[in-house]
């Protein structure tokens, strides 16, 4: 099965190569980041989410974790903190995913087991986690 993202992967990485120094990108066109999520070769540019070379699955909920660490580090740097005081991001080794299979069913993959049917469907099908995202941004879900 061939999955494509909203933007063609090759096209996206060709675009990113035009905006970043070559020594900041890995062979797949991802931004190389340090343990504080700073882009290689830069002290004040951060790379989070799918574009980073963090060795973990590329999933939205993990990008939220990246954003929390990067924002803390930006605030610390703005206050004049030294590198030793910056927060370190620890990549996850346990990922999960829930994929809808229609209106009422889904398949879920957790770190130690997988399940399909109505139970994972109930977990996701309500609002596809959109409400959680809104709450995380301090907004009222509709």
Residue 115's alpha-carbon distances to 59, 107, 118, in angstroms, are 19, 6, 9
Q: State CA 73 to chain mean position distance.
A: 17
DSSP state of 31: B
According to CATH, the topology of domain 9-85 is FAD/NAD(P)-binding domain (3.50.50)
Contact 70, 35 (CB under 8 A): no
Q: What pLDDT is attached to residue 4? A: 42
33: left (phi over 0), alpha (psi -120 to 50) or beta: beta
pTM beyond 0.85, yes or no:
no
Task: Give pLDDT, residue 93.
Answer: 81
Bridging pattern class, strands 106-109 and 114-117: antiparallel
Calpha distance 56→113 (Å, rounded): 18
DSSP state of 66: H
Residue-by-residue pLDDT tens, the chain, 142 positions:
334 444 455 555 555 555 556 788 898 889 999 999 999 989 999 999 999 999 998 888 889 899 999 999 999 999 999 999 999 999 988 878 888 888 888 898 888 889 999 888 887 766 767 777 788 778 887 6
Task: Please tell me the predicted confidence (pLDDT) of residue 103.
Answer: 82
Delimiting residues of CATH 3.50.50.60 domain(s) in the chain:
9-85
E strand residue ranges, the chain: 97-100, 106-109, 114-117
Give the model's pLDDT for residue 20.
58
């Amino acid at each position: 099965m061939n999955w494509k993202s909203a933007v063609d992967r090759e096209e996206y990485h060709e675009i990113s190569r035009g905006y970043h120094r070559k020594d900041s990108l890995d062979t797949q066109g991802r931004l190389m980041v340090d343990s504080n999520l700073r882009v290689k070769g830069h002290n004040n540019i951060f790379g989070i989410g799918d574009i980073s070379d963090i060795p973990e699955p590329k999933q939205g909920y993990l990008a939220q974790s990246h954003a929390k660490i990067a924002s803390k580090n930006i605030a610390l740097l703005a206050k004049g903190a030294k590198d030793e005081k910056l927060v370190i991001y620890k990549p996850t080794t346990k990922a999960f995913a829930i994929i809808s299979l229609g209106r009422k069913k889904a398949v879920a993959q957790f770190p130690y087991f997988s399940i399909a049917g109505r139970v994972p469907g109930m977990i996701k099908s309500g609002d596809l986690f959109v409400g959680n995202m809104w709450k995380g941004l301090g907004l009222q879900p509709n």
